[in-house]
Amino acid sequence: MLKNADDWLQAARTLELDGDLLSAVASYQKALQKFPSSYELLKAVGRLDAALLRFAEAAPLLSAAAARNTTDAEVSYYLGITHDALGEQRAAITSYEEALRSPEFRAAAALRLAELQSRADNLSAAEQLLTESVQAAPNDLRASEELLAVQAASGNSEAASRKARELLQFHPSDIFLRELSGDSDLAHLAADPYRVLRIATQYAALGLYRQGIAVLARRYPAVDPDQAEPGMTLPQGNPLVVYLRGYCRQQLGESPAADFAQASKLSTLYVFPSTLVEKLALDAALRLNPDDASAHALLGTWYFARAKTADAVREWSAARRLNPLLPALDASLGQALLHETGDYGAASASFSEGIGNDPRNVANYTGAVDALTLLGSPPAERVAALQRYPDLKQMPNSLVEELALNEAEAGDFTGALSLFHGRFFGREEGGTNVRQVWIEVRLLQSASLAQASDCRAALDVADHLGAPVSDLAFTRDGLESYLQSARTRFLLGEVYEYCGKSDRAAELFSAAAKSDGELVWSWAASRKLSAFDSSAWKQRLAAAAEADDKSVGTNARFSGAFYRAGILNLAAGRPDRGRELLRAAILSLDSNLSHHFARLVLAGKFPQ
């Protein structure tokens, strides 16, 4: 339990060190609200905002921190970055110079000052500062790279090239040094446009836009497919490369119109802007042509990656209005509406349009299922959305399994079971196991038949639940763990109980009651037994619900934690909190059928 500011600080710092920066900044912000007088929290939020390029948010926080402690070099450094990004150069210089006094930040501050001076065409001052940065941190390769770039731009290209070749002996994979050496590995750069963008961005940071254009304007050679990521285009086919080329031309006083127009026609699929200069290029393109759908879409992606959801929705909505056929656009907008704004109706509409506009994008279907669930729509509507996939025979297995579960929830077991036949289900690390889906569909079928008073058929399914099926290879092994779960045993026990097989039912309830890993289902099974202790179970469920409720924050990425906490709260007599957690499960990454289980419970299928 987080008791004080230091506890909150450490918890958020752990998220940051784990690379979950958006969760970390949200945690820091929540902590600062609870402890507004904490200087360390104030600094942490401002620093991470600046690192995430959220400069408008970072500025007041870092300014407040600087006012409280004028000697904190870390605050000065990040405040310098913030002022610099906001175009406040004089303030940036002051902050960088304050950070320069600290041995810990001398190298980094000198490098930033050098970039600012170089952009102002003061190459001699930039060279001096970069020399100071290299001396302060000899192992900082970026400072060495930029020092050589400035020296080359100052007319000492041969010496810079020679030094670059010397450094390449120690850093043979460094693409910027290879560029400076005059021997660029074009095939290597061609395999990943982001390598080209990295070089050009570094030149742009120094204001060396002509050199950046030279890198961005090349016609890179074709590469073997196994040398590049799937779906990756050559650099000249990547819109960010072309937008940045136009931006560099604009900074030199040349017209960017042709580059911006060309970029607007390139595919935005698998394109993810991440740097400040890429955002500046997209902003520049939109100033020239506000109807550039591709620039709006990419700018939305840039904002969304920084949890600036309102800005992302605005840009994606503009892009969809201008060109609704842009790939992944509806899915991206739907995800933002679903997860960030909570507008489930608008999210559902976006995913529905996405299924029409981008019909093979799996995210449109899974998003539609989640949105419809949270809207309380019946399973048949979710089935209808999934069945819009253009070729059911070629439907990805993840969607096949989702369709089977939703058809089972809708009571169409013939349709659900037919989906398993004539298809190969490979194992994917971290993916859903088709065996669990198969057992679940058959289990629900048995329960449905029993409730319809067709006990002969219900018992036939129950008795053969783990039996292999001749044309389904996956049923030959690996089913036992799912058959032995407390939930499966409890639900099977109910089938046998309803159909008059009391001995078999008692055997299953007894086995389920002994399970420690599925407390709610153990409780449900224990209630069927004569030795049930209501008072003891009430205390046990309440304690477990409280413990799980506190732990879900540390498991927020996966739905299983929310599902378990949700049903524990329901069992403990806290229905409102339980349903809240189950809805959170739907909004989290699915794991081990937790979305399906949560849907069933939200629909009222839970031990009463």
DSSP string spanning 524-578?
A: HHHTTSTT--HHHHHHHHHHHHHHHHHHGGGGTTBHHHHHHHHHHHHHTT-HHHH
172 burial level (CB within 10 Å; 0-12, 13-18, 19+): exposed
| Greatest Cα-to-Cα distance within the chain, rounded to the nearest angstrom | 94
How far apart are the C-alpha atoms of 377 and 585, rounded to whole Å? 17
Q: Which residues of the chain have pLDDT under 70?
A: 1-2, 429-430, 553-557
How far apart are the C-alpha atoms of 495 and 505, rounded to whole Å? 8
CA angle 99, 65, 92 (to 5 degrees): 40
Whether 215 contacts 201, CB under 8 Å: no
In this prediction, residue 426 carries a pLDDT of 82
138 burial level (CB within 10 Å; 0-12, 13-18, 19+): exposed
In this prediction, residue 431 carries a pLDDT of 77
- How far lies 350's CA from each of 203, 354, 548, 552, in Å? 40, 6, 34, 29
The residue type found at 88 is E
In this prediction, residue 554 carries a pLDDT of 55
In this prediction, residue 442 carries a pLDDT of 98
The residue type found at 482 is Y
Residue with tokens 């009571």: 411
Strand partners, 589: 558
Give φ, ψ of 169 to 5 degrees.
-65, -30
Structure tokens that stand for 43 in this block? 């600094």
How far apart are the C-alpha atoms of 125 and 58, rounded to whole Å? 28
In this prediction, residue 598 carries a pLDDT of 97
pLDDT in tens, 524-542: 999 999 989 999 999 999 9
Strand partners, 469: 472
